[in-house]
């Protein structure tokens, strides 16, 4: 009788991570106020897959984020709070998105980020996302990182470029948006060898 092959369970990453100005740590229930504040801004959620969060939406998002601590299998996610001087200013996401084969560990992951607009223009998003890229490639056996975003989201597109990611694709009207229409998707990618050589 054949046994089902399962990818190996990967250990949780070592946290927190400290950069020059920031601390990246796991999201905790007490972060609800900070997440609720910046996710209540229509400009923050404009290009996200969810709109301005009401209480139920915030509860659901917090449950997902707090539970996303040690991804090991495709589809699982790591959520990190970004702190500056003891205040949460944003959050990062790393989702394991594909494996080379059913018995292997995930080899592709997707990055995402949301930041409080009050800290825009200070380089915090770039500093935090660079730390997440380094964590992704040093902790996980990844071949590739990617980001998917609305091409109109120029702020995130520029962040991808600062991370060394290449604009690889622009797919037309492949995403049903919240307005009942269709939006395009821009795909950015970074290979392990590009990260290692940077």
pLDDT, one tens digit per residue, over 88-117 is 999 999 999 988 887 788 999 999 999 999
Which residue is associated with the tokens 């609720």? 36
Looking at the chain, the whole-number percentage of residues with pLDDT higher than 70 is 96
Strand-pairing partners, residue 135, are: none
* pLDDT score at 184: 96
Q: Which two tokens stand for residue 21?
A: 């100005």
Task: Give the Cβ contact number of residue 45 at 10 Å.
Answer: 18
* pLDDT score at 49: 87
* Rounded-to-integer distance, Cα 57 and Cα 50, Å: 9
Q: Is the pLDDT assigned to residue 46 strictly greater than 80?
A: yes
CB 198, CB 164: distance < 8 Å = yes
* Rounded-to-integer distance, Cα 88 and Cα 34, Å: 6
Query: Has domain 17-145 been given CATH number 3.40.630.30?
Result: yes
* pLDDT score at 101: 80
Give the 3-state secondary structure of residue 168.
strand
Alpha-helix runs per DSSP H in 15-166: 32-38, 42-45, 55-67, 124-139, 154-162
Question: In the predicted model, what is the mean pLDDT of residues 130-150?
Answer: 97
For the chain, which residues make up each domain, given as ranges? 17-145
Looking at the chain, the number of H-run helices and the number of E-run strands are 6, 8
pTM of the shown model: 0.93
Which residue is associated with the tokens 């301005």? 52
Question: In the predicted model, what is the mean pLDDT of residues 61-84?
Answer: 96
Q: Is the pLDDT assigned to residue 3 strictly greater than 60?
A: no
Confidence of residue 6 (pLDDT cuts 50, 70, 90): low
């Amino acid at each position: 009788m054949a046994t089902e092959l399962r990818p190996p369970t990967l250990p949780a990453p070592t946290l927190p991570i400290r950069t020059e100005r920031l601390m990246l740590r796991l999201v905790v229930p007490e972060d609800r106020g900070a997440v609720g504040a910046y996710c209540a801004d229509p400009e923050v959620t404009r290009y996200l897959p969810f709109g301005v969060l009401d209480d139920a939406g915030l509860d659901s998002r917090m449950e997902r984020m707090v539970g996303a601590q040690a991804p090991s299998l495709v589809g699982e996610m790591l959520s990190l709070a970004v702190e500056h001087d003891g205040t949460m200013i944003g959050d990062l996401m790393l989702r394991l998105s594909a494996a080379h084969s059913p018995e292997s560990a995930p080899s592709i992951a997707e990055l995402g980020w949301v930041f409080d607009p009050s800290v825009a223009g200070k380089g915090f998003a770039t500093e935090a996302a660079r730390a997440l890229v380094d964590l992704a490639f040093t902790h996980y056996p990844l071949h590739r990182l990617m980001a998917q975003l609305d091409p109109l989201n120029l702020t995130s597109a520029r962040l991808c470029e600062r991370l060394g990611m290449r604009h690889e694709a622009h797919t037309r009207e492949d995403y049903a948006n919240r307005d009942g229409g269709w939006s395009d998707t821009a795909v950015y990618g970074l290979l392990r060898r590009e990260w290692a050589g940077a």
